[in-house]
Amino acid sequence: MALLEIVQRKLRDQNALQKIIRALPWLCFLIPIISIIMMIELSMTGEYRHTYFSENALMPGQAHSYFRESEWNFVRGYRNEIVNMMNDNITTKNDNLNKLLIEMGYKTNLVQFMDEETGTEKNILYAIYHAPKGDDTEAMVLATPWYSEYEGESKLNVGGLSLSIGLARYLRRLSIWAKNVILVFPEDGEQSLRYWVNAYHTTLENTAGSLECAIVVDCPSSGDYIGYIDLEYAGINGQLPNLDLINTAIHIAENEGIRVSVNNTPFGQLWTNDFYSRVTSLFSGLFSIASSGILEYGDNKSFSGWNVQAIKLRGVEGHNSDITSFGRVIESTLRSVNNLLEKFHQSFFFYLLLGAKNFVSVGMYLPYGAMISIAYILASLNSLVDGFNASAGNSYKDFNIEVVKKKFTFKFVPMICSIITFLIITSTFIAYGLYTSNIITRERIQFDYQNLTYNYFVIPSMALIFIGTFIINPLLSILNIRIHSDFSRSLTMICMFFMGYALFGMMILNFSLSYVIGICFSAIFSIRYSTKSNFELRSKNCLVLLLTCPATWLMIFGSLHKFNAHLDSLRNLIQYFTLPLLEREIQKVLDFLDETSLNELLEGPVDIFTGLLKSYTRVQCWTWLYVSFIWIPLWVCMLLVSILPVYTGDLIKQSKKNV
Amino acid sequence: MFSTPVNSYRSLNEGIFLLSNNLNPYTNGEIIHHPPILLWLFKILKESNIEDNFNTDLFYSLMDLLMCLQLIKINRKVNGKYGFSSLKIACFHMFNPFTLLTTFSKSTHIINNLLVISVSSCLVQDKFEAAIILLGLSSYLTYYSWYLLIPICYYLYVNKGISKVIKTKILFSLTLSVLIGISYKLSDDSFNFINLCYSTILRFKKITPNSGLWWYFFTEIFEFFNDFYLAVFNIYGLIFVLPLSIRFIKSNEKMNLLFVLWICVGLINFAKSYPIFADYTLFYSSIFLFKKYYSNLKFSPVIDYLFLYVVLLQAPTFYVVWMVLSSGNANFFYAIGLTLALLESIILSDFIWSFIQSEYYLNHKSDTKEDNVPPKLTQI
């Protein structure tokens, strides 16, 4: 305590408080930038860690796998069967498959359900092997959708299906199982699989205990060979499978000589492990976790919310390994999980992958995320002492502690008004979010989403910004309709505090989303209100509002999505920077713009907006709710702050008299 | 958070259901941990139904209102015109989220809150007998309240001599024995209810996660140390009561007695086995009675409150991470309990320090007369 006392006295002698308060506006800007730099720095040697197995029982790849040449013949045979019935409808396909599975000795069930979104009836076939050794309380799932979706195309999952049926035959004959094996063949990996997972936990009669892990197999190629495995792990709402499961799959695959790509790493980068590749992987992982549930909501994401550790293995076309080694990866992973005595609880549930074999744990990256929310808290403090708004009355010259102390008090009426305004705006948008989030199920109307996106979301927000800053603000100033500056001050304070708090609360549940939103919104620190508003201030405010507007970011992310932008090409550009390369990249963008009409480009945001609106009904994804509960209302509040001209009370005069 | 086995409204309902089916929950079974008189009171209130009726709503609102009135009364008596106005005290209490949530959760602990506040109110008005009887009732309901007897007795000892203390103690034990006697009759001539009600609290028999500090230590892994922890926690709550009384109660100043009672309530809060939100209601609503000491505080109560809500609102997040998503574990939720306890201890020590300071200034008035700035105290 004595030491603290000394420090405190030193600080007081140096007039530190005053200096800190003066530095607050700069700190607010600096902290998010530092945070991003620190996130990048995580990819440097010494910051990240190599993955390792926490759970001893897993013993990945210890047993010899017999899923080899002789089974390859069966896989080929099943592939022929599938190709033969390619043009049949799904009922016939399932019937044929059903017969096969019954012959092998599985208990099968056919589930039919109504897809609410499209109004069509869909089929799901699932088969259970009750392991005679086990106590029938735990199960592992191998899910293979009939049709898999990749980059907008729906393809018959030929390789995946033949492999799973081959595996079904093989697994049934092994005597090692202590956990039940469930094979699921949904019509697609999205609605059908989600329906099955929900039904399994609620209504289905034939079940096989709690699901310990789920592997979704996807391999649309009909060839005998695959190039590499693409592993997807991001769940809905920031939920991730246990790192041990991912490690197991990757470890086994590498033992079999197959490279594994995580976070959309392209084939050419699979062997590299340098700083740039890790940064790329880190941020593309971050974005894919933050955006999961919006555009991609199927396959392993279908298992989210039920405590199932799920990954998706996609065999990508190529000529490196034969398809049975892909099968061996699946078999060995299942065997490892079979070894578990308890459910997955060791290792990490919160992590960011920097590559197949490197990761950062929660303790390393959470502080940098927390920095963002601290920046908002500081901004809130700053608006309390009114440091931003030098023009609102006090210049920096006569800015001292006494003035600041006066600032801690608010005029009662403006403060209450600001609280009420904040509550009204927030509750309005909470109602709005709840109303729009289940728009599909409530009213079975086919919406024109293009219309919905632009006429009801993007254009109104843009219009609000421009009309607000360039028409209403000058008009009110001219008419001399002003509000007390304490209103703007306390509203800013409340908003910033709320934002900081909300980000922090979200950080535990969904770090990536909270981080992305925190960064996107952080330009808001430079909103100013003033007694003497001029054109410069107005255009500055307008720019800031534009930068922080959810609609703007919707447009940006939408266009990038349509453009199929990969972080990897950016990495390539920076890492091997030469002018011709830059020219080529620019040419690529120009070509793309040439090829696609404006209308096509405008579809990107529509896709994302549609995904956002539907995501809650589809998979209980909170992203849209979060955006409409937090981001939009706060943005509207700040819009209000920047629009309304203010007058200052006689605070400063009073304080001078007192001094 | 809002209810624990010893004061849950739901288990009270179960008890009522059993009673109305002619099964006495106290003779066998371990469902109900409420004192028998309380159960019978609610049985009459709810007319043997499980569904809420107008009576229960009225009962809970009345409890809340009475508590608010008592607070106002104490404030008027003790602080006079120096404290907050009655309207502010009422607002602080009535619009306090803790109070609202407690009332909505219908935890039976709210009755105890009212009793403790009434005890203080009676003490302030010099009605010692009434205070002791109410304290007896409160101890009967929640066990821990008897700790408060110590400062009261000490106060009487300082001001009125030893004979009054003995009388008080006799009165207290008489109240308790009458209550226990009635309970004995109600629960079909069996003393099993003592085991169910008080032994559960003392020995922490029903392990459920709550916002307190106990439960974590009684999980299966630490089973070996259970007795040790039981002793430590039980002693911890009690050990500070007497020293605090001796230090702070020196004259017949009512404020001092009230302050000690309040500190004891705070101490009990984090040393008790089943703390709930209702405890915080009592503690944090009474903060506003001590406006006198605000000037010497390191952290203003506004900041305390802000931190408190930030921490509390995190609690559901951690609970979800642990229970629903199962990607976190018990440590996550316990961390919140620890932070809450830390906050409370900071508030407590801050207030104690502030109290000592103002006492010092009062005794050394002559030193500060020359320039009106009192010296900054670092150590006394």
For the stretch A463-514, pLDDT in tens is: 888 888 888 888 888 887 777 777 888 888 889 999 998 898 888 888 999 9
Which tens digits make up the pLDDT trace of A201-233? 998 888 888 999 999 999 988 888 999 999 999
List the domain boundaries for chain A. 28-44+364-562+592-658, 56-356
CB-based contact A142:A334 (threshold 8 Å): yes
Which tens digits make up the pLDDT trace of A259-314? 999 988 888 888 888 899 999 999 999 999 998 888 888 888 999 888 899 999 99
If you average pLDDT over every residue of chain B, what do you get?
A: 84
Which tens digits make up the pLDDT trace of B91-132? 888 888 888 888 888 888 889 999 999 999 998 888 888 999
What is d(CA B200, CA B204) in angstroms, rounded to the nearest whole number? 5
- What is the pLDDT at residue A409? 65
Which tens digits make up the pLDDT trace of A587-604? 888 888 888 777 878 888
For chain B, say whether A8 makes contact (Cβ under 8 Å). Answer: no
Residues 6+ apart with CB under 8 A from A548: A520, A521, A522, A523, A524, A635, A638
Taking an 8 Å cut-off on Cβ atoms, the answer to whether B327 and A505 are in contact is no
Q: What are the tokens at B189?
A: 């001539």
Q: Which residues of chain B lie closer than 8 angstroms to A380, CB-CB?
A: none
Residue B33 lies in a domain: yes
- What is the pLDDT at residue A397? 46
Which tens digits make up the pLDDT trace of A372-403? 999 998 888 888 776 555 444 444 444 555 55
> How large is the ipTM?
0.73
- Tell me the range of A15-29, A147-161, A637-651 where mean pLDDT is highest: A147-161
Looking at the complex, report in whole angstroms how far the Cα of residue A1 sits from the nearest Cα belonging to chain B. Answer: 10
pLDDT at A656 over 70: no
| C-alpha angle A548-A550-A552 in degrees, rounded to nearest 5 | 75
Q: Which residues of chain B lie closer than 8 angstroms to A5, CB-CB?
A: 378
Residue B268 lies in a domain: no
Distances (CA, A) of A363 to A48, A235, A368, B364, B377: 11, 20, 10, 51, 40
Which tens digits make up the pLDDT trace of B213-267? 888 888 877 888 888 988 988 898 888 889 989 888 887 788 888 899 999 999 8
For chain A, say whether B339 makes contact (Cβ under 8 Å). Answer: no
- What is the pLDDT at residue B304? 79
- What is the pLDDT at residue A29? 86
The strand pairing partners of A184, in sequence order, are A126, A143
Taking an 8 Å cut-off on Cβ atoms, the answer to whether A508 and B326 are in contact is no
- What is the pLDDT at residue B186? 85
pTM: 0.84
Taking an 8 Å cut-off on Cβ atoms, the answer to whether A307 and B314 are in contact is no
For chain A, say whether B317 makes contact (Cβ under 8 Å). Answer: yes
| C-alpha angle A66-A68-A70 in degrees, rounded to nearest 5 | 105
Percent of chain A residues topping a pLDDT of 90: 35
Residues 6+ apart with CB under 8 A from B30: B196
Probe site for chain A from B320, B325, B380 (most A CB atoms < 10 A) = B325
Phi, psi for residue B373 in degrees, rounded to 5: -90, 115
CB-based contact A201:A305 (threshold 8 Å): no
For chain B, say whether A509 makes contact (Cβ under 8 Å). Answer: yes
Q: Which residues of chain A lie closer than 8 angstroms to B378, CB-CB?
A: 5
pLDDT at B145 over 60: yes
- Segment A568-580 mean pLDDT: 83
Taking an 8 Å cut-off on Cβ atoms, the answer to whether B313 and A349 are in contact is no
The strand pairing partners of A143, in sequence order, are A184, A216
Minimum Cα–Cα distance from A498: chain B residue: B310
Q: Greater confidence, B371 or A97?
A: A97
Q: Which residues of chain A lie closer than 8 angstroms to B329, CB-CB?
A: 345
- What is the pLDDT at residue A351? 92
Q: How many domains would you assign to chain B?
A: 1
- What is the pLDDT at residue B376? 66
For chain B, say whether A74 makes contact (Cβ under 8 Å). Answer: no
The total number of residues written for chain B in this structure: 380
Residues 6+ apart with CB under 8 A from B321: A508, A509, B327, B328, B332
- Segment A621-638 mean pLDDT: 91
Residue B227 lies in a domain: no
- Segment B173-189 mean pLDDT: 89
- What is the pLDDT at residue A134? 84
Residue B328 lies in a domain: no
CATH number for the region A56-356 comes to: 3.40.630.10
pLDDT at B1 over 80: no
Looking at the complex, report in whole angstroms how far the Cα of residue A531 sits from the nearest Cα belonging to chain B. Answer: 30
For chain A, say whether B310 makes contact (Cβ under 8 Å). Answer: yes
| C-alpha angle A452-A453-A456 in degrees, rounded to nearest 5 | 60
Taking an 8 Å cut-off on Cβ atoms, the answer to whether A509 and B318 are in contact is no
Which tens digits make up the pLDDT trace of B304-335? 777 887 787 788 888 888 888 777 788 888 88
Which tens digits make up the pLDDT trace of A22-43? 778 888 889 999 999 999 999 9
Q: Which residues of chain B lie closer than 8 angstroms to A350, CB-CB?
A: 327
- What is the pLDDT at residue A249? 94
Q: Coil, helix or strand for A260?
A: strand
pLDDT at A523 over 70: yes
Residue B100 structural domain? 9-203
DSSP state of B375: P
- Segment A6-35 mean pLDDT: 81
> How many residue pairs bridge chain A and chain B with CB atoms within 8 Å of each other?
26
* Helix B330-363 and helix B301-319, axial crossing angle in degrees, nearest 10: 170
DSSP state of A188: B
Q: Coil, helix or strand for B56?
A: helix
Looking at the complex, report in whole angstroms how far the Cα of residue B330 sits from the nearest Cα belonging to chain A. Answer: 12
DSSP state of A233: -
